[in-house]
């Protein structure tokens, strides 16, 4: 899409998929038609002596000043021409602005389609992973419990064998409990419903620290954030979770700072979330297929907030989200 400012309606907008291209204007054809009409009128007026006849017919009406009618008509024609030129320019600019807006809308719709496709792909991958774990982990250990129970029944005359089978069943159940808890954690933030957002973030951060012991992660929370409501709390948790995932995958950082600050009073309150690292930073321009950043931006904008992802002045990346706090739940 051309970004050159158009002083007239002569600029042609390249056609983009999904929008109607603005037709190319031909002002020189219009000017040629006007010039041809003017020449034809002059020739006819000279041939039929229109000016002389008009003068002869109006000279007797000097009292009504009709002899000044040609000059008045000439001024009217000039004014109408100027007005038409102004409307012509205004219409051209309006068409140009509309074409640019339609192009931006088409690009936004394309981004939304790509994001929706990526989200569906992620959901499919997660569904396959859960199905595999249910089959490999739960199915296998449920079968082990059944075998241990049958063995205990067959050896019920041997107390030692029964005790060993019971111990095996207990260990298997503990392992199954761990697997189920891991699945639930991926589907729903741990402790978010019972303990609140602050505890859920602390648990997320602690698990991240355990997986990346070589990275120093500091978290600071200012203000109460446990009464934001379910939708906003999940949004904040997923933004932090995705940001930390990006740091572990792409940043090669040694220090990460996570800050959540509640600002404002009364009905004008907002939560500011900032994740800053000292890694390699973000590539510019951002990759089109970096769906993690697009997903975070989409979540923030759906909540009515603002999102930014940029390189910090000291090196590394800086992810910021400003989220308005409405009626608390």
Q: Does residue 288 have a pLDDT over 60?
A: no
pTM, two decimals, is 0.54
Question: Range with the lowest mean pLDDT among 9-13, 124-128, 191-195?
Answer: 9-13
Q: How confident is the model at residue 95 (pLDDT cuts 50, 70, 90)?
A: very high
pLDDT at 9: 40
Query: SS3 breakdown of the chain: % helix, strand, coil, rounded to 5?
Result: 60, 15, 25
Q: How confident is the model at residue 15 (pLDDT cuts 50, 70, 90)?
A: very low
At residue 312, the 3 state secondary structure works out as coil
Spacing of C-alpha 94 from chain mean position:
26
pLDDT at 285: 56
pLDDT tens for 201-222 read 998 899 899 989 999 999 999 9
pLDDT tens for 295-321 read 888 889 888 899 998 888 777 899 999
Cross-strand partners of 318: 276, 310
Cross-strand partners of 319: 275, 309
Of the candidates 259, 249, 308, the one whose C-alpha atom is nearest the C-alpha of residue 279 is 249
Task: Give the dihedral sign, CA 181/187/193/195.
Answer: positive
The backbone torsions φ and ψ at residue 234, rounded to the nearest 5 degrees and listed phi first, read: -65, -40
DSSP 157: T
CA distance 150 to 11: 84
pLDDT tens for 17-58 read 444 444 455 667 877 887 888 888 888 877 777 777 766 776
DSSP 228: S
CA distance 86 to 179: 72
């Amino acid at each position: 899409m051309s970004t050159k400012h158009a002083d007239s309606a002569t600029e042609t907008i390249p056609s983009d998929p999904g929008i109607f291209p603005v037709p190319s204007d031909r002002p020189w054809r219009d000017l040629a038609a006007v010039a041809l009409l003017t020449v034809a009128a002059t020739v006819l007026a000279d041939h039929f002596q229109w000016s002389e006849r008009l003068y002869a017919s109006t000279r007797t009406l000097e009292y009504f000043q009709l002899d000044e009618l040609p000059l008045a008509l000439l001024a009217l024609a000039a004014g109408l021409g100027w007005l038409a030129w102004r409307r012509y320019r205004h219409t051209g600019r309006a068409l140009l602005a509309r074409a640019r807006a339609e192009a931006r809308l088409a690009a936004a719709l394309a981004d939304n389609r790509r994001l929706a496709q990526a989200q569906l792909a992620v959901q499919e991958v997660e569904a396959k992973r859960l199905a595999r774990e249910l089959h490999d982990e739960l199915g296998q250990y449920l079968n082990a419990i059944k075998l241990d129970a049958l063995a205990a029944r067959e050896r019920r005359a041997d107390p030692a064998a029964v005790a060993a089978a019971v111990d095996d069943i207990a260990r298997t159940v503990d392992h199954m409990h761990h697997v189920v808890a891991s699945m639930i954690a991926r589907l729903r933030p741990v402790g978010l419903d019972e303990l609140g957002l602050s505890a859920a973030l602390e648990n997320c951060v602690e698990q991240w620290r355990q997986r990346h012991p070589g990275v120093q992660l500091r978290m600071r929370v200012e203000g109460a954030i446990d009464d934001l409501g379910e939708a906003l709390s999940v949004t904040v948790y997923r933004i932090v979770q995705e940001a930390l995932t990006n740091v572990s995958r792409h940043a090669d950082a040694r220090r990460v700072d996570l800050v959540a600050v509640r600002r404002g009073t009364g009905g004008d309150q907002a939560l500011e979330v900032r994740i800053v690292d000292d890694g390699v930073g973000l590539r510019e321009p951002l990759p089109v297929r970096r769906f993690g950043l697009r997903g975070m931006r989409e979540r923030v904008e759906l909540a009515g907030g603002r999102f930014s992802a940029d390189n910090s002045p000291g090196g590394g990346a800086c992810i910021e989200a400003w989220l308005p706090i409405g009626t608390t739940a």
